[in-house]
Structure 1
């Protein structure tokens, strides 16, 4: 029985490491100007990681100190957390499955449309009071001003691989026909394309295209990329925890069998 309990204790060292991986994924989602302006997925991931850490520590203590009732509670609680983590991994994948950038003529960067994203993500930016807070946050960052330091010539800008948020928020949509002066200042054409985003564009550096649907789509495209990266780490943690849980169940069952014999 001692050997089986020690196995549970040792494997929970791995579970602790995996919980730190989950917490790290949540913390990583708070880094950067885009993620800091949209606090949506970060806290659920961090809280779930902390719960996994606490349960793993309980399993570690129960294993090394041979507290059978604590091990049983640990296995039940860990199973529930594994299910929650699995649901979260699947949810992130499903809401980020759609959307892709649309190429533009004679441009290296892509542009994005709200229609390409899942309904869940669209609802995060369509409500005016939510977007106003996000817009204010974005306008205070260096996302767009940094482009003026990098590009002075139009062709260099057209050949640049901009991030989705830069493509959507820092310049007018290509179809509007604006003329490049610098990355955040454009001359209006004689006749504007019949599109609201063309009318929403402003050379005011605090306005730019922050009120445009293209900006909302660019923000969601940036979130999608970051969420998918985090989802890979969460998937690794999920697989690892499933293996740890299976070993833990087998070790506890073996310990009870040895005790009966």
Structure 2
């Protein structure tokens, strides 16, 4: 008779195996249908995740239900490494996101962001030309400034009727200190007073595919967005870690059951 812990491990891994099928299918679909660099960038991680979940869940399912101790040992090893990896990543996420915040601009509907305010590790990631070209391509393909250009978020003399996201503030308009003359939400002109040491002022271009995508403020806005996302992910990770530890404990119990049953069969 299959013991309770073995049954629980089997059920959990059956659910995981079923979930891995649409994940793997989504990765294969992306590899065939993706039309942008961003979508192609996602296909390999999604496929890898689907294959990983499928292999590990099969090992746990067969190991628990068919009493194959080697497979269950492999499953527990992977689970232990996953718990360790998630724990390290959670600590790392909190460390690298403890710096950086937008600066409120008086009388404006947005904050402004400076690259130097964020952790050195994050700065290095976006300062790498290859990395940033990929991110910039995603921002253009994702049409992050389209809401401003289409008038969904309108402005009068640079005062927006809705607050801007960190990416929109950093990538879709020039910095406030540039003193550009407002024409439309994504169209600004230089004037005689447009004198600033900020390199972002020279990087601004009204071309919808350029705007401030090459600006330091755009990189900072992206980092602020990453910072917020990573903090949310870290909190979810803590909950997931508790769940994994419980599953790991049940798996250890199932492994002991396997050893006891195999010993009983060997020495009747």
State the superposition RMSD in angstroms.
3.4
Structure 1: runs of 5 or more not aligned: none
CA spacing shift, 1:73–1:38, aligned 2, 3 Å:
closer
Instruction: Map 1:222-233; keep pairs closer than 5 Å.
Output: 222-233=225-236
Instruction: Map 1:114-153; keep pairs closer than 5 Å.
Output: 114-149=115-150, 150-153=152-155
Deviation at 1:148, TM superposition (A): 2.2
Q: Distance in 2 between matches of 1:121 and 1:8?
A: 39
1:197 aligns with 2:205: no
Deviation at 1:108, TM superposition (A): 2.4
Larger RCO (CA under 8 A, 6+ residues apart): 1
Deviation at 1:255, TM superposition (A): 5.1
Q: Distance in 2 between matches of 1:133 and 1:256?
A: 51
**Corresponding residue for residue 170 of structure 2:** 168
**Corresponding residue for residue 239 of structure 2:** 236
CA spacing shift, 1:6–1:133, aligned 2, 3 Å:
closer
Instruction: Map 1:1-261; keep pairs closer than 5 Å.
Output: 2-3=2-3, 4-13=5-14, 36=38, 47=48, 50-149=51-150, 150-154=152-156, 157-191=159-193, 192-254=195-257, 256-257=259-260
CA spacing shift, 1:45–1:124, aligned 2, 3 Å:
farther
Q: Distance in 2 between matches of 1:8 and 1:207?
A: 52
Q: Distance in 2 between matches of 1:159 and 1:166?
A: 14
Q: Distance in 2 between matches of 1:92 and 1:231?
A: 7
CA spacing shift, 1:115–1:87, aligned 2, 3 Å:
same
Q: Distance in 1 between matches of 2:106 and 2:210?
A: 26
Structure 2: runs of 5 or more not aligned: 31-36
Q: Distance in 1 between matches of 2:93 and 2:163?
A: 26
Deviation at 1:252, TM superposition (A): 2.7
TM-score after normalising by structure 1: 0.78
Q: Distance in 1 between matches of 2:169 and 2:248?
A: 45
CA spacing shift, 1:39–1:104, aligned 2, 3 Å:
farther
Deviation at 1:14, TM superposition (A): 6.2
Q: Secondary structure at the match of 1:190?
A: coil
Question: Which digits, 9 at most, give the CA deviation of each residue in 1:205-237, with x for residues without a partner?
Answer: 332212110011112222333333344444333
**In the alignment, is the contact (CA less than 8 A) between 2:171 and 2:221 conserved in 1?**
yes
CA spacing shift, 1:5–1:207, aligned 2, 3 Å:
closer
Q: Distance in 1 between matches of 2:190 and 2:40?
A: 31
**In the alignment, is the contact (CA less than 8 A) between 2:6 and 2:254 conserved in 1?**
yes
